[in-house]
Structure 1
Amino acid sequence: MTLIRADGVSRTYRSTSLVGMGAVRTALDGVSLSVAAGETVALLGRSGCGKSTLARLLCGLERPDGGTVSFRGTPLARLDRVGLRQFRREVQMVFQDAPGAVNPRFDIRSIIAEPLRYLTSLDAPARARRVDELLEMVELPASLADMLPSQVSGGQLQRVCIARALAPEPALVVLDEAVSNLDLHLQAATLALLKRLQQASGIACLFVTHDLRLVERFADRTIVMQRGQVVEETGTSVLAELRHPASLELKAAILPPLPARVRTMKVAAAG
């Protein structure tokens, strides 16, 4: 069953300055994709290709200039009040900039509980229990609950944002470069955590990234974007078959493990 679908969506922006209106920039040009229940789809591309714009459209944070975004078969523009509330509960987003995505005056407990207040019917005691469950789910100690965002590490705060996204029990989580600001160890740990959570709950994920290595660890299907368009799509198990120039550029950007050692071995072999 398809959870979310974009059909021919387009989005343009026009910059403004003190001297007047700037040129129109096309962020998306007739893009179509879908995410099914329980599926993990990687949206891959270089910075500026339009993937984050598409993610925001799918979450209802922006509206397309053309085309349609549909949730469970109904265009977002046609959702009534009840349908819109369901959409907001079932589609959650985790942003790249964790510090910018939370209220610095809220403690961790309040941050995680915020969607529970507005998107569920849980009372205060039930919300408190759910926050405790979520902290355990994302492998954070209960002692963090009374801390402020500035008092926890970047990796911990990103897990707080993941817990907040999982709080209302969504059907789809959109991860917009959600691990890009973490070091390699934390990236691997966070993706392993997300994979376990997904297997336990059956949620779908749209994983927005520019890093092909992360795609191989996490996704079932990969969609490559360039200049506001989808240029290639394949199953993640056959990433070696990617052939579009945009895909090959992303492949070439991956550094080999221990590059100095690899270079030395090549020189020795040549000699």
Structure 2
Amino acid sequence: MSLISAVDIGKTYQTHSLLGRGIRKQVLENISFAIKEGETVALLGRSGCGKSTLARLLVGLEQPSSGKVLYRGRSINALRRRETQGFRRNVQLVFQDSPGAVNGRFTVRAIICEPLRHLTALDQTGREARVREVLEMAELPANIADMLPSQVSGGQLQRVCLARALAVNPKLVILDEALSNLDTHLQASALALLAKLQRDNGTAYLFVTHDLRLARRFASRCLVMDEGRIVEELPTAALEDMRHPASRLLRDAVLPPMPAVRQLRGRASLPLE
């Protein structure tokens, strides 16, 4: 059985106008896919294609206009109260916009403790211990726990959000461009941490990104979205065989490593006149 699946998901927004009723805009259409336990799937697509909307639907932050989201084979809208709490604990979303994803008046400790307080049975001592543990996992200093979001760097705050998601030991983590604000070193260490959790705990990931290089390093299977639809699905090892025009645009947008150096080397090899 799949851990989570989308079945014919569609999403339409009603726009509004001062002059009267606005127009309906369809942002997702006939989206179907499934993620198994312990699997890593990349959801690729250009900005504005509907990736983030789909991520919010999968965790229940928004409702689909058509279709349904299934968690372990059951609609998330049909879950009982205790089952809903388990779903919220087991499916975590890390947003790209880390400042908008936290309460600016909360300390880092309070930010990480929030899901621990609502979704686990840990007492205050246990929550404090878990905060220290996940801060270390995310390569953050212990003294950051007493700081406010405005007192830490953007990269640090993004790792705080990652630590918050991992604190409750979820079964699935949806990463919505969550590594894009990190430098290369921190991206590599974050990927190593996520891979270790997958080996140790069987954690599954949906890696929402437009970066083909990160998808190659992290995912086993890729879904390509364009204009609200999944237009191609293929294993990561076969990304060179992409056929859809939207897929090829993503592939062709990847720059070679150190392009300026390669260009200089090419010039250096030219004969002097």
TM class by shorter-chain length? over 0.9
SS of equivalent to 2:178: coil
Change (3 A) 1:122 1:261: closer
How do residues 86-97 of structure 1 correspond to structure 2 at under 5 angstroms?
86-97=86-97
Greater shift, 129-138 or 183-192, is seen at: 183-192
Query: In the alignment, what sits opposite 1:180?
Result: 180
How do residues 1-271 of structure 1 correspond to structure 2 at under 5 angstroms?
1-264=1-264
SS of equivalent to 1:63: coil
Tell me how far apart the structure 2 counterparts of residues 91 and 216 of structure 1 sit (CA, whole Å): 23
Deviation of 1:262 after TM superposition, in Å, equals 3.1
Tell me how far apart the structure 1 counterparts of residues 233 and 2 of structure 2 sit (CA, whole Å): 17
Deviation of 1:268 after TM superposition, in Å, equals 7.2
> Is the 2:2–2:36 contact (alpha carbons within 8 Å) kept by the matching residues of 1?
yes
Amino acid at match of 1:17: S
Deviation of 1:257 after TM superposition, in Å, equals 1.7
Tell me how far apart the structure 2 counterparts of residues 63 and 12 of structure 1 sit (CA, whole Å): 10
SS of equivalent to 1:188: helix
SS of equivalent to 1:130: helix
Tell me how far apart the structure 1 counterparts of residues 71 and 92 of structure 2 sit (CA, whole Å): 13
Deviation of 1:264 after TM superposition, in Å, equals 4.8
Greater shift, 256-265 or 215-224, is seen at: 256-265
Per-residue CA deviations over 1:202-232 (Å, capped at 9, x if unaligned) read 2100000011011011111100011111111
Per-residue CA deviations over 1:81-105 (Å, capped at 9, x if unaligned) read 1111111111011000111111111
Greater shift, 251-260 or 7-16, is seen at: 251-260
Change (3 A) 1:242 1:54: same
Greater shift, 134-143 or 86-95, is seen at: 134-143
SS of equivalent to 2:182: coil
TM-align CA RMSD: 1.7
SS of equivalent to 1:116: helix
Percent of aligned positions with the same letter in both sequences? Answer: 59
Tell me how far apart the structure 2 counterparts of residues 248 and 264 of structure 1 sit (CA, whole Å): 27
Consecutive unaligned residues in structure 1, runs of 5 or more = none
SS of equivalent to 1:2: coil
Greater shift, 227-236 or 187-196, is seen at: 187-196
SS of equivalent to 2:103: coil
Tell me how far apart the structure 2 counterparts of residues 252 and 52 of structure 1 sit (CA, whole Å): 23
Amino acid at match of 2:84: L
Per-residue CA deviations over 1:232-254 (Å, capped at 9, x if unaligned) read 11111221111111110001111
Please report the TM-score for the alignment, with normalisation by the length of structure 2: 0.94
**Equivalences, count:** 271
Change (3 A) 1:125 1:23: same
Deviation of 1:269 after TM superposition, in Å, equals 7.5
Tell me how far apart the structure 1 counterparts of residues 166 and 21 of structure 2 sit (CA, whole Å): 41
Amino acid at match of 2:143: S
Amino acid at match of 1:67: G
Tell me how far apart the structure 2 counterparts of residues 180 and 233 of structure 1 sit (CA, whole Å): 23
Per-residue CA deviations over 1:153-177 (Å, capped at 9, x if unaligned) read 2111111111110111110000011
Change (3 A) 1:126 1:260: closer
